[in-house]
Structure 1
């Protein structure tokens, strides 16, 4: 497969921009902890099961509205595509469970750190696996961001496994989805269908427990659980669209928006203590973002002038 073109090449200027989709996805993910406050009484593992169950019908509804059943059938009857989507479905399921568990257990900063690590991993994956290249200014941004992450990690060794699991699971998920020849919506629909059987098994297991099922006993809680299908499908669809249209390294740096929102929520809504080391890492990461975005802006201006 040919290497991915750089995000700022003149040829890309004729393609639809993935920036609005990327911003939409990361803003939704950033505020996701507020939604999880509505379902804190649901065990994390059970909630992941219900999240998968309610994502599938929402995806099928959009497939019907957009008349994408031919694309769905084409992907289903392609063994290579199905194998890749099996891998991506496992990766995203792991990511969902660890993230939900971390937020519900009050490890908001650990979750935030995971998605601060992820853009650095995206840069590594983009350069090693996708043939992408970074300028010297972009590598400087990577180095500064890595310093900020290292500083934050030094004060969170006991929860670093949460951050690493989130970073690697979502980073590899994005790489797999970028290489799969299937649209964002059919791909997510198939991923949800692959996970449906184990999700139903999880829901059934909790229904047989002494505490009983979380869904169906309270109208408000049941509605909040059902809404997880929308909360899950919409940002993943936006992310898949952005991953197809943008350089993966650039997409990774835009992702700093989501953990920053989570970080601020941890400080304000969840009222977690902000130690000096965490504040220092926060500032270093945003200096890195400023360097990276400044370099992108400069290159984009030069590309437009040349075009």
Structure 2
């Protein structure tokens, strides 16, 4: 196999970065999309999101004729169990995100995704027994302080933010365990499939209580609800394409696009209040993320230099 030239590697990294940036941009504007689904409740939206995600993935598999991948995964109990666990985690994430968005807590949902990288690093220590550099420990300490300040500012524990950060962090850990054995479309297909019974129960309860809004509000509203599958699947596919091409450092830096857009949406467009305590808390979180990002870039450069020196040593 011919080694990849530096120019080709740079081009691949750039293309991957564009894919990842597109995914984060779509995730960043999700609060506006879900706000447009009113008067549908968070429970109804998640129910339809699961159903239409499964339908959209099935259509993709049908068009691409990739049923073989589905069959291969179905024959491996370990992978099936991991996709089921991933499905439960993403369900919790979706449900809490919708509750936060539709109850005018968009800023708090953005906080969850701001602290998610720090939670991911902490999970690496707890679960994967990874060793952290002192700067990473400092970032975690700052994040803990920030949560304390925000608790004082909100007057209550920011359970929406913490639940989002934990659920998505553990979801990422499970996806790491699954690895390349399950592609993005197949993964979302199985995750949605396991959640269909939950979706049916949710929709049945909503139908029996407040009533389903699909097909009753307007044609545009119905089309928006049906589009939930596309809105869910497309950024995931873009993200998968990006992570296969771009460096982890670039993807890690780009991930802040989504919570920044969500924060601006809640603050500037939806008029959610930011008290002085919240500004201080968010400022500490942003400082922690800046520390973590700089450390990641420096560590990445050191790693590349070390690999380059190793390659030179092997040639000589």
TM-score (norm 2): 0.81
CA-atom RMSD, angstroms?
A: 3.0
Tell whether the 8 Å contact from 2:267 to 2:274 is kept in structure 1 after alignment: yes
Gap runs ≥5 in structure 1: 1-12
Tell whether the 8 Å contact from 1:119 to 1:256 is kept in structure 2 after alignment: no
Q: Compared with structure 1, are the counterparts of its residues 165 and 300 closer, same or farther at alpha carbon in structure 2 (3 Å cutoff)?
A: closer
Deviation (angstroms), 1:133: 4.1
Equivalent position SS for 1:39: coil
Aligned: 1:278 with 2:269: no
Aligned: 1:214 with 2:208: no
> What whole-Å deviation, never above 9, does each CA across 1:228-253 have from its counterpart, x for those lacking one?
11111123334456677889899666
Aligned: 1:155 with 2:123: no
Q: Distance in 1 between matches of 2:84 and 2:248?
A: 21
2:23 is aligned to: 25
2:292 is aligned to: 292
Q: Compared with structure 1, are the counterparts of its residues 61 and 291 closer, same or farther at alpha carbon in structure 2 (3 Å cutoff)?
A: same
Q: How does 1:28-47 map to 2 (within 5 A)?
A: 28-47=26-45
TM-score (norm 1): 0.83
2:257 is aligned to: 257
> What whole-Å deviation, never above 9, does each CA across 1:269-295 have from its counterpart, x for those lacking one?
111111112222232222333333323
Q: Compared with structure 1, are the counterparts of its residues 252 and 87 closer, same or farther at alpha carbon in structure 2 (3 Å cutoff)?
A: farther
Gap runs ≥5 in structure 2: 1-8, 309-316
Q: Distance in 2 between matches of 1:298 and 1:164?
A: 28
Deviation (angstroms), 1:178: 1.3
> What whole-Å deviation, never above 9, does each CA across 1:253-277 have from its counterpart, x for those lacking one?
6544322222221110111111112
Deviation (angstroms), 1:21: 4.7
Aligned: 1:127 with 2:125: yes
2:71 is aligned to: 73
Q: Compared with structure 1, are the counterparts of its residues 122 and 253 closer, same or farther at alpha carbon in structure 2 (3 Å cutoff)?
A: farther
Q: Distance in 1 between matches of 2:151 and 2:244?
A: 31
Equivalent position SS for 1:266: helix
Q: Compared with structure 1, are the counterparts of its residues 245 and 179 closer, same or farther at alpha carbon in structure 2 (3 Å cutoff)?
A: farther
Q: Distance in 2 between matches of 1:162 and 1:100?
A: 10
Tell whether the 8 Å contact from 2:84 to 2:194 is kept in structure 1 after alignment: yes
Deviation (angstroms), 1:56: 1.0
2:97 is aligned to: 99
Q: Distance in 2 between matches of 1:184 and 1:262?
A: 24
2:47 is aligned to: 49
Task: Give the aligned length.
Answer: 295
Tell which deviates more after alignment, 148-157 or 28-37.
148-157
Q: Distance in 1 between matches of 2:287 and 2:32?
A: 27
> What whole-Å deviation, never above 9, does each CA across 1:146-172 have from its counterpart, x for those lacking one?
433332233225352222222221111
Tell whether the 8 Å contact from 2:110 to 2:259 is kept in structure 1 after alignment: yes
Q: Compared with structure 1, are the counterparts of its residues 241 and 137 closer, same or farther at alpha carbon in structure 2 (3 Å cutoff)?
A: farther
Structure of higher CA gyration radius = 2
> What whole-Å deviation, never above 9, does each CA across 1:131-157 have from its counterpart, x for those lacking one?
444433333333334433332233225
Equivalent position SS for 2:104: coil
1:9 is aligned to: none
Aligned: 1:170 with 2:180: no
